[in-house]
Amino acid sequence: MTSSRVRQLRQSYNLGRLPDEAVLEFEKEINNRMNIKPEQQIINELKSKYNAFSPSQTLGGFNQSASRPKLAMLKWQEVLKKKPFKGYNKKIHARTGGLSAKGRAKFKREQGSNLKPPVTTKPSKLKRGSKAAKRRKSFCARSRGFKRADGTYSEKAKAARRRWNC
């Protein structure tokens, strides 16, 4: 258990200045009450589910030569082909994130606002200081604020930032 984890637990549960051992014991008790499985058990279940690992691999992580089970990778790719992000509707969303031309037209009809399409040109191809470059730079700066509390981006935010080349 790292000190960062102990710090995180102290902050989350307002444990104050309890010693590290007490914080760790508290976490074990919480996990037991919530019936959370230990890491080793989860890893063993995944190994048996995908049968893509040799028994010589340890808890330290998956072998770098086989970073993900092939079956899992195929399933993930299938999901990505069907829906690039949660809430995706192919009639109004662009596959790469944001609204399609039809989606922008629908929004204009309903709300009366005129949304511009994203600047999808690569930054290296844009002329410095041009309107498009400024719009792109502004969006990228604003979209950094799309992060969740845990510091990650939602699927839609990732797709939008990818489309704008942020």
Q: What is the pLDDT of residues 58-86, one digit of tens each?
A: 444 444 444 555 545 555 555 555 666 66
- Exposure class string for 41-78: b at 16+ Cβ within 10 A, else e: eebeeebeeeebeeeeeeeeebeeeeeebeeeeeeeee
Supply the mean pLDDT for the chain: 75
**pLDDT for the residue 64:** 47
- Spatial separation of the C-alpha atoms in residues 10 and 100, rounded to whole Å: 45
Q: What is the pLDDT of residues 104-143, one digit of tens each?
A: 898 899 888 888 888 988 989 999 999 999 999 999 999 9
Across the range 29-58, mean pLDDT stands at: 64
**pLDDT for the residue 101:** 85
Q: Is 159 exposed, middle or buried (0-12, 13-18, 19+ CB in 10 A)?
A: buried
Neighbouring-strand partners of residue 99: 93
More confident residue, 126 or 57: 126
How many Cα atoms sit within 13 Å of 150 on the Cβ side?
4
- Judge contact between 98 and 159, C-beta under 8 A: yes
**pLDDT for the residue 131:** 94
* CA proximity to 156, closest of 71, 148, 107, 41: 148
The tokens 């989606």 sit on which residue? 103
Largest separation between any pair of C-alpha atoms in the chain: 62
